Amino acid sequence: MVRVKFCGITNLEDAAAAVELGADLLGFNFYTKSPRYITPQTCRSIVRELTVTVAALGRPVQMVGVFVNHPPQEVTAILHDCGLDLAQLSGDEPAEDLQRIGPAAFKAIRLVNNAALEDAIQAIPPRHSEPAFLIDAGVPGQYGGTGQVADWKQARLAAGYFPLLLAGGLTPENVAQAVAGVQPWGVDVASGIESAPGRKDARLMKRFVEAVKGTADR
């Protein structure tokens, strides 16, 4: 089964729709410069309200905090305060930060050249849990959310060894091809399912999930 992560959730309506439509992970972005930024207070409220919805589904939904160069102690505090399961480190964090945060933390790797993936894995060994890390497109000066497609060839090589989340320019139109070509543990999408930054479109979310699950079932 290929997991689906809907990232950049900013409100309860979108969060509830995402869960009901089949999302396996929800991402909440705490990077203040992102158009999908959410405060810890709002995130905590959304996660609490979702408890009943998730329980009724009878399947797990992981809540993920997205951080960019936050101090480890701040990441840990937000995880605990908001009731989140995982911490996605999408900045320039060193390996020591993952160690300080603990097993909940995984690293986002932005592919900017042919050596980027190998260098990143050598510098920051992937964790043993799922997902080991996330692969995104590399755009100088930006920390994800660009809508640019990642290097699927490099991602496929990594997916043969590690359970990874594939991000970068995924849409309902191209995600089936991405899943077939990369064979990732899961896929991550934000702008590809939005009507505006931070506002999800239920029809696009539904089409995205159907495309992913249809590919996984073949």
Catalytic residue among 14, 136, 151, 188: 136
Instruction: Determine which helix (DSSP H) or strand (DSSP E) holds 178, and give its type and residue range.
Output: helix 175-182
SS3 sequence of 180-192? HHHCCCEEEECHH
pLDDT per position as a tens digit, 1-32 = 999 999 999 999 999 999 999 999 999 999 99
Clarify whether 136 is annotated catalytic: yes
pLDDT per position as a tens digit, 55-66 = 999 999 999 999
Cα distances from 215 to residues 46, 166, 168, 212, in angstroms, run: 31, 15, 18, 5
- Domain of residue 180, CATH code: 3.20.20.70
Which domain covers residue 37, as residue numbers? 3-217
pLDDT per position as a tens digit, 143-187 = 666 677 888 998 998 999 999 999 999 999 999 999 999 999 999
**pTM higher than the cut 0.85:** yes
Please state the domain count of the chain. 1
pLDDT at 216 over 50: no
- Is the distance from CB of 189 to CB of 152 less than 8 angstroms? no
